Structure formats: structure tokens, C-alpha cells
Structure 1
Amino acid sequence: MTDVDAIVVGSGPNGLAAAVTLARAGLSVRVYEKSAGVGGGAATAELTLPGFHHDVCSAVHPLALASQFFQRFGLADRIELVVPEVSYGHPLPGGTAGLAYRSLTRTVAELGRDGPAWNRLFAPLVSHAEQVAEFTGAQLLRLPQHPATALRFGLRALEQGSPLWDLRFSGEIAPALLTGVGAHTIRALPSIATSGAGLTLATYAHAGGWPIPVGGSGAIVAALVDDLLAHGGEIVTSTEVRRLNDLPPARVVMLDLTPRALLRLAEGELPDAYARKLRAFRYGNGVAKVDFAISDPVPWQATELRAAGTVHVGGTRAQMRRAENAVARGGHAEEPYVLVSQPSGIDPSRAPAGQHTLWAYTHVPRGSTIDQTDAIVRQIERYAPGFRDTILASTGRTATNMEQLNPNYIGGDISAGEVSLTQLLRRPVLSPDPWRTPLRGVYLCSSSTPPGPGVHGLAGWHAALSALRHDLGVHTAPDLSPTDQKSTDQMTTDQNR
């Protein structure tokens, strides 16, 4: 007799996605969360002054509309997602800026002489964005359903991830736009991993946009929690799981944790070969984050940036390459690459009337204890003179603070594992079913498993489908839609490979 059918350890978006999927399949589900609140990095809180609501980690969600899990879950029908007309912008020295609109046509028109090259790069991907999502949203070892799209994507990733990356463009704006979005991966530039991430995110920017949830990232978590509770699930907070043997009996256990945590929880129980692979799993460099309460919108010198949901601050492609490669070598960049978002510009509920919240982070060596507030302010000021005068309050977190906030962010690594080509294939092990561990009924479902980092729920969904098939004999994917109609859709083999 089991106490519960399924246990989920960790309540980040992937853990909750696994919990929702299992509960929708008719299982009794219990989630254990170490912190007092749920959501992991996908949470919203007053971090500076009363009335200013900041996203704790993730703020803008390029994968929210493309994720097959969130599509099936009907996220856009459950919460309000605002999609800015300008997905991301990029200021350059001299007061100019590049803008990536949702409209590929408009983006191409404003890129001038590099517009045709941008169109040739992205038009074949944007027109098949769902196929790109299928290819990049699961396990890269499996055969893609749409090999032609996968080939087009791969050839472009090879080009932009090599020393040939400048051959396509003749100006500075287009390559800076693309480098800014690829640098999300916190890796040396150029590399195939950074180019692949950049192509994926930029494709979504033109295909559907990068949405921002009204009320903050916590709204996504609230929708998942509401659905879980509505289907009989329960959540136990402020409870740390120290050993797997401490858990009550269950048919399956889903771990929204890193491989390092699995080694600790299952000490002495894992086969030696598997444990060695987990110990070899590499963690990447980290982030240092600052949340600002500001009195006015960021005074960008290029005023058109005010319409952008995300701004990549880092200058030219060459300047970003120097900054990111300095971090890859273990140093702090003098002129760092900074991701910036001012969500209150499109969601006034985030701040008191007329005032704003600003979200910003930069890349630093793993384990850094250096506060980057001044460095971030200086870098923004280069492209927004007078920004410092708008600051009412700020709260900075070092890379070490980020790990204290969320143990999955080892050394400040918000990707829960280095995003390299080898670790996209071996995440955390080379297997057609990397979510499944050698321990009976135990699965990893964190960003340390495919498809990797981001708020998409896909790692949890794939892990739950694998558990349903292998341990529970369920071979139909449960319906996740808000209407809760039973689905007879057969789980395809490629979802579990």
C-alpha cells in the first residue's frame, strides 16, 4: 500500500509540470518544496520598495508560447501574456539601436543593407517555427520529425557558431542583434551552443514574440499550482528532502533537482557507472542580478528601445565577445554584457503609478561573490545617460546569493548545468531517455535534463510521460487543457526517446 502514487521534489516550473501531468493522468501527487514559497526562480516578490513587484529570476519568457507543454496546458488561456511589438532591442555606441520586431518583414526593412541577409537566415526557420520547437524542445539524440528543418537549423548554427560568423553581414547592427540573443547561454563566443540558442530564441521572437506575464512570472506558477490542486494534488512547503529513503512510499519520484543533488539524495544507491557520469556533469558560469525601483522609464539614448520587452546591453559583436570570453576565462568583464527588462512599461501593475521596476543581470564566473550593481549601472548609463538619477532603490544578488536563493543554481548557474554542445546531447547522461535514472521509479525532471534551461515545463512533462509509460503502464498522454476533456492521443515514441 503506497502513501501516494507520485512524489515530486522541487516546485520549479519543471517540477510543477511533472506534477500536473501525473495528476491529470489520475495519480495522487504530492510536491515537496524546501522553501516557504513555490516556483523556484519563476516567482515574483517585492524586492526593493513596497509596491514594486520584481521577478526573482526569469522575467521574459521566449519559450512560453512555443513550448508544447504550455500549448497543451493552455497557458495563454489561463493567464494574460502581453507580447511586446519589439521582442528585443540592442543599443550600439553613438545612439543607434537594432530592433527585432515580432514582424520579420519590419525587422528586415529596418536593418538596411543587412536586411536581406537577416531574412535569408531566419525566413526558413520562422515559417517552420513549430518544427524548430519540436526539434529543439526534446532530446537531441532522437531522429527529428522534420529533418529538412533540422538540417537548415544545423547549418545556420554551424555558421554562426564558427569564425565564419561575420561573413553573412556587412554592418554592425545585425550581428550585434544576433550575438545579444545568443549570449543568453553564458558561454564563450562564438560557439555552436550559443548560436543554436540564439537562432532558437530569435526564431520565436519573430514567430510569436517573447511574452511577459501580467503580474509577473509568479502568474505562470500560480496557474500550474491551481491546476494541480484542482486535480487532487498537494504541496508541502518548508520541507527539505535529505535522502530518498526519507520519502514516504510512492510508485514514482520526480526530482526537479540537479545531478549533484541526486548523488546526495541517493548516496550509495546508484550504480557506479551512472554515478560517475553524474559527477562528471559540468556546471557553467553564473549570473549576478540587480532589481531596481526607478522613478521614470530608462532614458535610452535610442528612444525606440522603450518599446522593447528585452534589451541586450553590450555594444558591438566584438565588445560582447570580449566580455563573454573574459567570463569564460574566469574573470569579470570591464564592460559586461547585461540583460535588461522593464516589465512595468507594458504591465503597470508591477509598480506604483508613474514609476517602474527594472530587472537586470550580467554574467560572472561561477561562485563569484562580487556585487555587480555598480558595473550594471555604469553599463546601462553608457546607452541611457541619466539612468542613475532615476534609481529609487536597488537590490543586488551575487552569483553565490543566487545559489543560496535556489540550490539548483550551483555557483550562480541559472541553467542548472553548462550549456555546451556535448551537454545538450549528454544532459546529464547520453541516453534515449535521459530523464529516467537506474533507480526504479526515480526520474530527473529539472533543467539539467533535456531540453535544458528556460521556463517551458518540457523537462518535467517529458519525465512524467516516461514515468507513466515505464512504471505505470499508461501509454496515452493525459489531456492538460483548461477544459479537462479526456484525450485519446497516443504518446508518440519520439516523445519518450
Structure 2
Amino acid sequence: MTADVVVVGSGPNGLSAAVTMARAGLRVEVYEAAPEAGGGLRSKALFRQDVVHDICSAVHPMAAASAFFREFDLQARGVELLQPAIGYAHPLPDGRAAFAHHDLDTTCAGLGRDGRAWRALMEPLLAHSRAVVDFALSGQRGLPESLAAPLLLARGMLSHGTPLARLAFATEEAAALLAGVAAHVVGRMPTPSSAATALLLGHLAHGTGWPVPRGGSTRIAEALLADVTAHGGTVTTGQRITDVRELRGARAVLLDVGPKEFLAIAGPLLPRGYRRGLLSFRYGPGAAKVDFLTSAPIPWADPMVGRAGTVHLGGRQRDVFRQESLTARGKRGGAPFVLVVDPAATDSGRVGANGLRPVWAYAHVPNGDPTDPGDLVTARIEQYAPGFTDTVVERRSVSAADLERYNPNYVGGDIAAGAMTLKQTLLRPVPRWDPYRTPLRGVYLCSASTPPGPGVHGMAGYLAARSALRREFEIRAAPPLSPTRSDRIHRAGAA
């Protein structure tokens, strides 16, 4: 093997690791088991060639906010992150709905008597947004640059990550609005982890936003792949690495894989204690995916819901808390929490011939659930959008169990790549000062099973690459990530 660095897996973290290593002047090879690169950023035509569906992630608040992507500068590379006027919406069963507008003032006005409480929660976070994001998306192994970030998060976690959460708002609208974004933790609620998720994602809706990439999530992957190859890297798809010893010869190996997959390719080589730590790694609830091809926009009972980039279907706060906690315990029953995205509501270019358009939906289900989610998710959307079923031309369902077969990192359908408990968020995948470095010489983990966890932020790959650069190559200065003049020329030519 002639490469200095081998990266296994081409999800956003694998690609950010490859970008960082290639920009440091190293020879990089990327191996991807799937036929196409991109991991959770893949998009493809499922039913009609002119209608693109996002296979995993569709909305990207972290791609607009993380330190890696801030410097990588997607916009300068031709990736448009389109901002919906309403970041997320939360309809209630009786026809009311709550909205997180991009504009904080508009949001507060819409929440009535809870507007002041919403402002008191979000405004301080917005004032320190970059520090909050950088702290939350760090390896959490050193002192933050600003104490404001951890203090703000700690205060919010006490108020919204404990039973006090039920008393935080006077109205059902505001309580449900925050519960819906907290449910992105995909686990028991309320907890400090769910509150931290709500604070991080919630304030971003009023800041850098919850954008939808024009043309689909694959545009982000394409920008990352182009940068890897522009700096001499190579990408091989359709090749699964089954034994880490296949990669002998590379000075550094960065694995965008979870603990289960790492054990499969390196288990016998690992010390007993580290192996035991990986075996005890806990996975959270699963996600079951449904892709729809529809003939019209979703006919929401409240038409303003259709202006939102993301819609949370979970009912009232108490319903969200109860259902998510049941799901985390592996129990079925009740209406699942469902996330819905109509990308064409933000990106009109996603509408195909005859007005056909993609609709993206996930339901939270028990880990490993083999149930086909199609009817369940359709009925859930129909509850809030009467007549939706009549607009469905085609649909494709993927159970939580099938999601793992599609991507081995999603164990049991866990798209967070590990339960997001407070302890495991800080100490994933095992308790170590450098969570990316493994006991095997030159081998590093860089998946969402390492800090800072799930999301299209690239930070796990970037931080793992920085660790490998220091230890394996004695390169301490971070390589520049911003586009070069040739990158900009290439973009202008493509346009």
C-alpha cells in the first residue's frame, strides 16, 4: 500500500478526515463499501429520473454552523444552503401549530404569552452562538474558549432536561415546539441530553438556520469528494474492508465505522479491556424511513406548516415525552414521533415533471424493529394533513432493521450511531482522553460513534484527523480548509 493515509467509509466524517489529511500534503485513499460515496449524504432518483430523494439526511443545520464547514465554505464551492422562512413547525392534534421562524421576533410574537420565555431561552444562545456550537461540537476534552457556552447549556439543561421541563412554558404550543426539536436526541425524554439537543438545534433555527441544500444532500458530498481528489486523494467504491490488516503499509488508518463494525474487522487484535468497552457500547432507538413521491405539496391542515423546512409530528409535549421514552425502552404502541421534510417547499428545483415531488419522512421506533413503516407514517401525516394519502403516487419503506443492512453504522436503525445519553455523549465510544485513537498503532475511529456524535458537521472526522496528524506525522498546525483559487475557478467553470 502506497498511501500515507487510508480512510474507510465515505460519510461526512470520513470525507472531512480525508479532506484534512489530503490538505496536509499526505497521500490519501478512501474506501467505501457501497456502490456510491457519501454515506448519510447520498441522494438519488428512486421513482422518476427527474425527482431526487435524500436517502438519509435532508436538512443540515450543522453544515451551516460547524467549525469544519465554516472554513471549508460550501457556498464558495457552489453548494447553496437554502434557508426556509420557518426552520421547523410543530402542528398539534386540534389544528393549532407552533413555528420556529428564522426571525426570532416573529417566532416570539407567534408564541403569545410564551414569547418572552422563548426569547429568554434563545437570545443568550444566539448572542454566543459560535461559542455554543464550537463547544457542543468539540471533543469535550479541554477548556472551552468561552465559559459562556457551557454555562448557558448547563442552565438550559437544568430547566428543560429534568421534570421542570413540564413547567417551563404556559402554553402547549411553545412546550411542544421545544419538545419536537429535543426529540432529535432519539431517546428517553426529558433528559439533559435531550435538552442540550433542543438548545443547540433550537437556537440555530434563528441563527445560521436549518438549511436544505439546493439539489439535495449529495451536493455536500460532491464538494467534499472534489476537494479530496483535487488534492491528490483517490476514492474507491464498492470495496468493503473486512480486516484492518488489509491496510498494512499506511501510516494512519481512519475508520468511519461504529464499534460493532470495528470489532468485526479488528476484534481479535484489540486488548481485552478496550474490546469489552466496545461491546458495552449502547445503541439507541431506531429510525424507520419512508420516501414518498407525491403529486402535490402536503395538504397541511394549517397551510403555514407547508412553509417549514422540517415538520415534527409528535403531538403535545407530554405525548412526545411519553412516546419517545416508550420507544427508548423498546416498547411499541401509540403514534410514533415522525419527522417530515418536503424539500421542494424550500427548493423549487426539486419538483419534477407534472408537479411530482419528493417527501422525506422518518419515524422513531424501537431498535431493530422489522416493521414496515409505510402505513404507520402515512397515517401519521394524514392525521395532520387530511388528503395526503390521495397525493401519494409511489412510496418506499425501509424498516429500522433494513436501515442497518443499508448502512452497518446504523445498528438496529440507530441513525445517531449510539445512544445519546449524557455519559455516552461525552465518553463515546469508550472512556479515553483521546477518543479517536485506538490501541492499534496508527488506527483511529472517526465516525459519529465518537465525539461530538451524530449530525452532518464533519467534526468527528476533522478532530480524528488532527489527532492522527499530531501523533503519526508530527504535524501540529491545522491545514487550511478554505477553497483555493483553483477551486473557485473550477466552480465558475461549472456554473
- Equivalent residue number for residue 316 of structure 1: 316
CA distance in 2: counterparts of 1:452 and 1:168, whole angstroms: 27
Which residue number corresponds to residue 492 of structure 1?
none
- Alpha-carbon separation, structure 1, partners of 2:211 and 2:342: 13
1:437 alignment counterpart: 438
Which digits, 9 at most, give the CA deviation of each residue in 1:441-473, with x for residues without a partner?
110000000100001110000000110011101
Aligned to 1:27: 26
1:60-105 deviation line (CA, Å, top 9, x unaligned): 0011111100011111222111011110001012211101011111
Match for residue 212 of structure 1? 212
Aligned counterpart, 1:348: 348
Where does residue 478 of structure 1 map in the other structure? 479
1:484: Cα distance to partner? 6.2
Q: How do 1:243-322 residues align onto structure 2 when only pairs under 5 Å count?
A: 243-322=243-322
Quote the offset at 1:245 in angstroms.
0.8
| One-letter amino acid of the structure 2 residue matched with residue 407 of structure 1 | P
Q: What does 1:149-298 align with in structure 2 at a 5 Å threshold?
A: 149-298=149-298
Name the aligned partner's letter for residue 224 of structure 1.
Answer: L
**1:356 to partner: Cα distance:** 1.6
TM-score by length of 2: 0.96
More displaced 10-residue stretch of structure 1: 394-403 or 330-339:
330-339
8 Å CA contact retained: 1:345, 1:356:
no
Partners of 1:348 and 1:118 in 2: how far apart?
31
Distance 2:333 2:70 in 1: 39
The AA in structure 1 aligned to 2:284 is G
Match of 1:144 in 2: 144
CA distance in 1, matches of 2:245, 2:29: 16
What residue number does 1:369 align with? 370
CA distance in 2, matches of 1:424, 1:325: 18
Partner of 1:410: 411
Q: SS at the partner of 1:268?
A: helix
Give the CA RMSD over aligned residues.
1.2
1:351 Cα offset (Å): 3.1
State the distance in 1 between where 2:259 and 2:273 align.
Answer: 14
Q: Deviations over 1:23-58 (max 9, x none)?
A: 000000000111110011210011233322110100
Q: Which residue of 2 aligns with 1:381?
A: 382
Q: What is the Cα deviation at residue 248 of structure 1?
A: 4.3
Structure 1 residue runs of 5 or longer lacking an equivalent are: 486-497
Q: 2:60 maps to what in 1?
A: 61
Give the secondary-structure state (helix, strand or coil) at the position aligned to 2:142: coil
| Partner Cα distance (1:7, 1:393) in 2 | 40
Structure 2 equivalent of residue 15 of structure 1: 14
Contact kept? 1:30, 1:233, Cα under 8 Å: yes
Q: Determine helix, strand or coil for the equivalent of 2:4.
A: strand
Write the distance in 2 (CA, Å) between the matches of 1:43 and 1:323.
Answer: 29
Corresponding residue SS for 2:62: coil
8 Å CA contact 2:448, 2:460 repeated in 1: yes
Amino acid at match of 2:71: R
Which string of whole-angstrom CA distances, capped at 9 and with x for unpartnered residues, describes residues 250-282 of structure 1?
010000000121122113221221111111111
Q: Do the aligned partners of 2:64 and 2:81 also contact (CA within 8 Å) in 1?
A: no
Q: Whole-Å Cα distance in 1 between the matches of residues 340 and 13 of structure 2?
A: 25
- Deviation digits for residues 195-231 of structure 1 (CA, Å, limit 9, x no counterpart): 1111100011111111110111110000000011111
After TM superposition, the score normalised by the length of structure 1 is 0.95
State the distance in 2 between where 1:244 and 1:187 align: 32
Instruction: Kindly provide the amino acid, as one letter, of the partner of residue 412 in structure 2.
Output: G
Residue type of the alignment partner of 1:37: E
1:112 partner amino acid? G
- Give me the whole-angstrom Cα distance separating, in 1, the residues matched to 2:36 and 2:380: 33
- State the alpha-carbon separation in 1 of the partners of residues 472 and 485 from structure 2: 24
Read off the aligned partner of 1:114 and give its amino acid letter: D
Mapping 1:88-103, distance limit 5 Å: 88-103=88-103
After TM superposition, give the deviation of residue 336 of structure 1 in Å: 1.3
CA–CA separation in structure 2 for the residues paired with 1:349 and 1:117: 38
**Unaligned regions of 5+ residues in structure 2, if any?**
487-495
Question: What's 1:466 paired with?
Answer: 467
